[in-house]
Amino acid sequence: MATTATTHQTKWWSGGKSPFNLEYGKLMMWYFLMSDAFTFGAFLISYGSIRFSQNYWPDANHVFNAFPGAGHADLPLAFVSIMTFILIISSVTMVLAVHAGHHMDRKGVMKYLLWTIIGGLAFLGCQAWEWTHLLTGEHAALVDGTIKLLPQTPSINPWGQFADHAAVAEALQHTPKETLISLVHEHHHDLTHSQLAAMSQTDLIGQLDVASMHVRNQGPPAFGSYFFGITGFHGFHVFSGVVINIIMLIMTYKGVFDHRGHYLMIEKAGLYWHFVDLVWVFVFLCFYLI
Amino acid sequence: MEQHHQTISPEVTFHHAPSDDTVKRIWKTTWVLSGITLVELALGFGIAKSWYGDSSGLILAVKGVICILSLAKAFYIVSIFMHLGDEIRNMIMTIVVPLLLFVWFITAFIWDGNSYKNLRNKYDPYFKETTMPVKHKEEKKEVPAENKSGKE
């Protein structure tokens, strides 16, 4: 706000100068980001619209509760909070790179750009782990009168409401032996796979306590479609941001910006990177928090 | 400071003077963003652990608070990290005013989704019966006849 006093005395619209006092490329980056905000906004609002049209929606805390190396421990919000802090910190290093650029500090720009790139790659790594975990998971669900072990994919959702106990007991009778072995193994780790394979269908069912199994029905498939679609689109933005930052790092290293006399390109790349962080605030809000 | 007379374009006449304040402001914003995120996580963790009981009104209020906190985060990122707050007012308005479309956008489509749900519950008993949340595990035992095969 300290600058407002100065700007009011200047006649911005009298010609000969940019009325917004911005270089063309930076102004266009702003308008691109505004349109991109509407793209993301449309996706998220579509998700909200579908969610409001359902009587039941899976609880994110049941779906996203895993942490690398923690096995089956129930840790809602833990992993995604790490991803969130990675993005916040990489946003800080980016704004420090922009600041170093203002001072024509080539080494500072390179140092902070490198940290930003590392942060971006770390975030992408986390997302890759999260997606893999969801896509390869096995959750017992009641499907067409049998029990199936389902992953969370763009079209399958194993997080419906808890299935009726009587229906589960009935479904177990029609469930393939392989699935029963996996189900029993989940609850009785002491039994080896070959021991279980030697047991009969009835004995296997006898090992299972329907009340403690927490078998669910299938949930709305839109849950996965929106989750993978929108986090994927965001991840693609992170990826392209990392690529842009790597190009900026190479250009800085080669002294392109020193030769030009300004580091404006770093500012534009910075705007894009902050936008990626900004979008994550809302992706995080819509998919994990509420 | 002194070395800040960069020749970006002859038409760009005024340069913001980055000072040591800038770095201070960046770190202050970092702490604000981290703090808000921690509060959001605490509130969200409360929802996960059912601290707020079964009162859906209270949970909705907590979610509303989380939404407002996210908007505050967005404001700090755009205003400080992206330096939009330092630009000329007219330029800020060309970005912010179009974003007001979101007010209609969000209201209209959430309303529409909700209306679709109400209409289906009214005219599609099968949809209502198969998707309406079952209240509690205790209650579930009382209605074992309710199966998911949709026989009516």
Helical residues (DSSP H) of chain B, grouped into ranges: 20-48, 56-76, 89-99, 101-123, 125-131, 137-142
Under an 8 A CB cutoff, do A20 and B87 touch? yes
pLDDT band at B15 (very low <50, low <70, confident <90, very high): low
pLDDT above 90 coverage of chain A, percent:
70
How does DSSP classify residue B132? S
Inform me whether the pLDDT recorded for A123 exceeds 60: yes
> Rounded to a whole number, what is the distance in angstroms from the first to the last CA of chain B?
79
User: Which two three-digit tokens encode residue A279?
Assistant: 């979008």
pLDDT tens, position by position, A24-59: 999 999 999 999 999 999 999 999 999 999 999 999
Pairwise CA distance, residues B31 & B34, whole Å: 5
pLDDT tens, position by position, A216-267: 999 999 999 999 999 999 999 999 999 999 999 999 999 999 999 999 999 9
Residue with tokens 């962080």: A277
Residue with tokens 């100068």: A17
Inform me whether the pLDDT recorded for B4 exceeds 70: no
Give the pLDDT of residue A4. 52
Q: In what order do the strands lie in the sheet with A216-217?
A: A146-150, A139-143, A216-217
User: Which two three-digit tokens encode residue A97?
Assistant: 């790179």
Please name the residues between 33 and 92 in chain A that touch chain B, using a CB distance below 8 Å.
34, 37-38, 41-42, 45-46, 48-56, 59, 61, 76-77, 81, 84-85, 88-89, 91-92
Pairwise CA distance, residues A275 & A281, whole Å: 10
Give the pLDDT of residue B2. 39
**CB of A11 less than 8 A from some CB of B:** no
Q: Output the 3-class SS for A102-162.
A: HCCCHHHHHHHHHHHHHHHHHHHHHHHHHHHHHHHCCEEEEECCEEEEECCCCCCCCCCCE
Who among B11, B86, B131 is closest to A17 (CB)?
B11
Inform me whether the pLDDT recorded for A202 exceeds 90: no
Q: What are phi and psi of A241, to 5 degrees?
A: -65, -40
Q: What are phi and psi of B12, to 5 degrees?
A: -90, 105
- Rounded to whole angstroms, the maximal C-alpha distance in chain B is 82
Q: A179 to chain B, minimum CA–CA distance in Å? A: 21
CA of A80: which chain B residue's CA is closest?
A: B41
Pairwise CA distance, residues B9 & B6, whole Å: 9
Pairwise CA distance, residues A163 & B139, whole Å: 13
Who among B26, B99, B102 is closest to A92 (CB)?
B26
Please name the residues between 21 and 40 in chain B that touch chain A, using a CB distance below 8 Å.
22-23, 26-27, 30, 33-34, 37, 40
C-alpha distances (whole Å) from A239 to each of A6, A119, A121, A124, A208 are: 40, 11, 8, 7, 45
B87 CB neighbours in chain A (<8 A) are 20-22
Amino acid at A87: L
- Estimate to the nearest angstrom the gap between the alpha carbon of A48 and the chain centroid: 17
Spatial contact of B14 and A10, defined as CB atoms under 8 Å apart = yes
Residue A197: CB atoms within 10 A of its CB come to: 11
Residue A233: CB atoms within 10 A of its CB come to: 14
Average pLDDT over every residue of A175-193: 84
B74 CB neighbours in chain A (<8 A) are 278, 281-282
Inform me whether the pLDDT recorded for A198 exceeds 50: yes
- Estimate to the nearest angstrom the gap between the alpha carbon of A250 and the chain centroid: 28
Under an 8 A CB cutoff, do A166 and B144 touch? yes
Pairwise CA distance, residues A254 & A234, whole Å: 30
Beta bridge partners of B123: none
Inform me whether the pLDDT recorded for B143 exceeds 50: no
Amino acid at A48: G
